[in-house]
Structure 1
Amino acid sequence: MKAIRLIALAACMAATLDASAQEQEIRLFSHRGGRMEHDENTLSAFQASYDAGYRGFETDIRMTRDGALVITHDSSLERTTNGTGTVEEKTEAEIRQLATKQGNKMMFLDELLEFLKGKEGLYVEFEMKTKPEVLYPEERLHAYCDKLYDAVMAVKPADATFVFTSGDYRGLRYLQAKHPGVDLLLITSKPCNDETIDLCKAMGIKRMGATMDGTSRKAVKKAHKEGLIVSLWPGQSVEDFMLGAYLGCDYMCTDVPIEVKGWLAEKAPWIKVKY
């Protein structure tokens, strides 16, 4: 059944491209290092995606009680590690004592940046995890944003695209005010539609990270006409990628980077993808 659905999606996209060539190359990037294939947000995960040819990545950053920046998605430590409680209530030393459930050490921002340093052709989304808001009141939020921005931009290669992303408007507005021209992406749990297009325009943010559910080709085309760059999520399967490609997105994350790259090489090499 899955194979049939994939063939149908490929045929649908092929028919579309027969009528008009693919309008843009899709940038596919490894979400948390490929969280459904590897131990998410660990050095081994990012290395595996890099070795497979990916130069696009997404990661998440939280801050410990004493101000260290940790690469992890959840505030709670319980889903991915052998710890309890939250990242925000722990010290750096306490976090360094923990391991993921697959036996890897938790990674800190400086370690990820060391991995990225000197690599060519990078596209990296640094998601600012600053919710719930009670854990990041204004003063702490500003300290977080300053530390993250300064550390990331200090090692940014000349040809790299480093994007700061969030669904928390506070951090986006703070960086925007302090660093005019900073590359930002607004994450929304809504589709690309008139509402989210207008929101991005009102905030002066050119990148949108929207859900595929409810997004139409027409809406993506409208976003493009308004000068916006559209990234779609989730990316949990080859089918998700094919749907995103059909919808005409510019960027898309994937939790299964190696599977998608292999499938495209074998089954749909005509789709223009940059990894």
Structure 2
Amino acid sequence: MTASSPLVQTGLLAHRGASLLRPENTLESIAVTAEMGVLWIETDVRTTRDKKLVMVHDSTLDRTTSGSGYVAQTDLAEIQKLDAGSWMGPEFAGMKVPTMKAFLTDICALGLSLQLEFKEDKGREEELVDLVCDELEEYWPADGPSKLFFSGFSERCLRRASVRMPNVQRALALTCVPRDPDRLAEETGVTIMHVQDDFTDEAALEAIRASSVEFGVATVNDPQRARDLLDGGVQQVLTDDPQLLSNNRYVAA
């Protein structure tokens, strides 16, 4: 059966931007992704202690900045003083953690499409979604729902997003392909599911092919594996390497 009209039609999502080449989720990572001709970027959004939005994957600052501690327990002003590039190499020193406003501004200016993943703090799911939707309503183009979708592991986040911005599609992040993807999609109100590559074997691909849900697999950095997945029924792969596929666009043989 497979998804008849997938939202992401290029087969590739740049995972946290060009994260193989530039520090993840930075504005520089966006710019390089666009230069390579990739159309879709995946990124992560979190709240700070003072209820501002920043693009950070981890719950803590330790791995990708010169700081330490939880993002949710640090004010934006403190985060903006940190170096978000040196961890990857000295040539990237001085790069900063972008706010969501800055990130959206660059995405729109470059004509890119966005998968926005909610990185919630348990118990504050609705607060995160409301802050994100408030900024999207202000800075995202009114005619842009087809260039945006939400994702997350939290069904609570996705339910709140369906209330706030019902025209924006939603993706449920999972470890493995569920036994009945279509039933789970109906229960959760999503049209897309993302699963982990390590759990996507031939049996999983068979379930994907039998489903009408749009499927993505993360994180895939081997070109042959990416093509095998796309040939096997997956609609999109998430990759750290924007040049993973020839011309950054997959065309089935």
Q: Confirm or deny a common fold (TM above 0.5).
A: yes
In the alignment, the residues of structure 2 paired with residue 176 and residue 165 of structure 1 have an alpha-carbon distance, to the nearest angstrom, of 11
Higher helix share: 1
Structure 2 counterpart of 1:170 = 156
Structure 1 counterpart of 2:97 = 106
Structure 1 counterpart of 2:71 = 87
Structure 2 counterpart of 1:35 = 19
Q: 1:35-74 alignment to 2 at 5 Å?
A: 35-74=19-58
Structure 1 counterpart of 2:237 = 252
In the alignment, the residues of structure 2 paired with residue 222 and residue 154 of structure 1 have an alpha-carbon distance, to the nearest angstrom, of 39
C-alpha contact (below 8 Å) 1:217/1:246 kept by paired residues? no
2:114 is aligned, of 120, 124, 127, to 124
Number of residue pairs matched?
A: 234
Runs (4 or more) in structure 1 with deviation over 6 Å come to none
Structure 2 counterpart of 1:221 = 209
Give the deviation of 1:196 after TM superposition.
3.9
- Cα distance 1:114–1:178, how it changes in 2: closer, same or farther (>3 A)? closer
Give the deviation of 1:249 after TM superposition.
1.5
Q: Structure 2: which 5+ residue stretches go unaligned?
A: none
The superposition leaves residues 126-177 of structure 1 with CA deviations (integer Å, 9 ceiling, x where unpaired) of 000014x1xxx2xx43222111012124333425421111001111111223
- Cα distance 1:239–1:153, how it changes in 2: closer, same or farther (>3 A)? farther
Q: Match of 2:149, as an amino acid?
A: V
Q: Match of 1:254, as an amino acid?
A: T
In the alignment, the residues of structure 2 paired with residue 45 and residue 92 of structure 1 have an alpha-carbon distance, to the nearest angstrom, of 21
- Cα distance 1:119–1:214, how it changes in 2: closer, same or farther (>3 A)? closer
Q: Structure 1: which 5+ residue stretches go unaligned?
A: 1-22
In the alignment, the residues of structure 1 paired with residue 96 and residue 166 of structure 2 have an alpha-carbon distance, to the nearest angstrom, of 36
Larger Rg: 1
Give the deviation of 1:254 after TM superposition.
1.0
Q: Once the two structures are aligned, what percentage of the paired residues are identical?
A: 24
TM-score (norm 2): 0.84
Q: SS of the counterpart of 1:230?
A: strand
